[in-house]
Amino acid sequence: MAPKRTRRGRPTTKTDRAADRAKANVADKASGTSDRLTYRELRNTPGRVWERLAAGGPLTLMADGEAKAIVIPVEDGDVRGAIEAYSRGRAMMAIHRIQASSRAKGTDKMTLAEINEMIRDVRNEMRREEAARSTGR
């Protein structure tokens, strides 16, 4: 049974709050960061948040015991460069997931001829479906 929560989704008992904190600590260990930032800190003491960012390193924005975002310092006001680096990092993570999935399925061992045959089969199937739609079948 799920723990009772307030209207804002917060746990109602000390035990449940401790479980949420433990969950956050596990997330910190998994992400390699321990510098957490709560929404309340961001709202109530933005000056301290700026000081922490100036000290360097990302901050993990936490809400309801879960990591929701990463706040990173921008060097020399280069926002475009920071966003570009973030985009590259996301692309690298996506490639890693695709490669891991391919290894798990065994498709990483396919030859070029097998890949081309699969592409040809899929394209032929798509053409047949398109032809059936256009003739009203």
The tens digit of pLDDT for each residue in 71-115 reads 998 888 899 998 999 999 999 999 999 999 999 999 999 999 999
Does residue 99 share a domain with residue 122?
no
Task: State both tokens at 78.
Answer: 């280069």
Q: Mean pLDDT score of the chain, rounded to an integer?
A: 84
Residue 6 lies in a domain: no
The amino acid present at 125, given as its one-letter code, is E
Contacts of 117 (CB under 8 A, 6+ apart): none
Domain limits for position 62: 14-73
Total count of domains within the chain? 3
Q: What is the CATH number of the domain that holds 58?
A: 3.40.1620.10
Is the residue at 83 inside a domain?
yes
**E-strand spans in the chain?**
36-38, 59-63, 66-71
Strand-strand pairing, 59-63 and 66-71: antiparallel
- Structural domain contains residue 7: no
pLDDT at 30: 54
Residue 45 included in any domain: yes
Which pLDDT tens digit goes with each residue over 13-47?
766 666 666 665 555 555 554 589 998 899 999 99
User: pLDDT by residue (tens digit) across 120-134?
Assistant: 999 999 999 999 999
Domain annotation covers residue 8: no
Positive or negative torsion for Cα 36, 40, 45, 47: positive
